[in-house]
Structure 1
Amino acid sequence: MKKALFVSDMSCQHCVGRIKKALDEAGLSGYEILPDSREVLLEESSAKKAADALASAGYPSVAR
């Protein structure tokens, strides 16, 4: 099942690149970054790991 993480500080393509890098470095795959809605879609089982990686990169998120 897919889970959405809302990343309020995602405002530009630079942010998207940093978020992608953080998720990749955390070993995550199969996610989708949606800059227009400021969300990251990923498997629910990866949500905690992704949220931790995003917070470490300076992009706190909220599960939706």
Structure 2
Amino acid sequence: MAGPRDGPPGRRDAPAVDVSGPPAAYGDYTHCLVCNRPLTDPESVIRGVGPSCWSRLLHPL
């Protein structure tokens, strides 16, 4: 018999996330928030979006 914390059959809980520390400060991005590629350009690191994705965001099709 399932206990009260087991939830519905087949349910899988999300992995634990450590939220004890402070959130990342503005400009502390290491990967693009759109495509997840590593950021190397200082302006992109501050913005959180790489140059290719930024260009697409500014000029959508």
TM-score (structure 2 length as normaliser): 0.24
Between 1 and 2, higher relative CO (CA 8 Å, sep ≥ 6) is seen in: 1
TM-score (structure 1 length as normaliser): 0.24
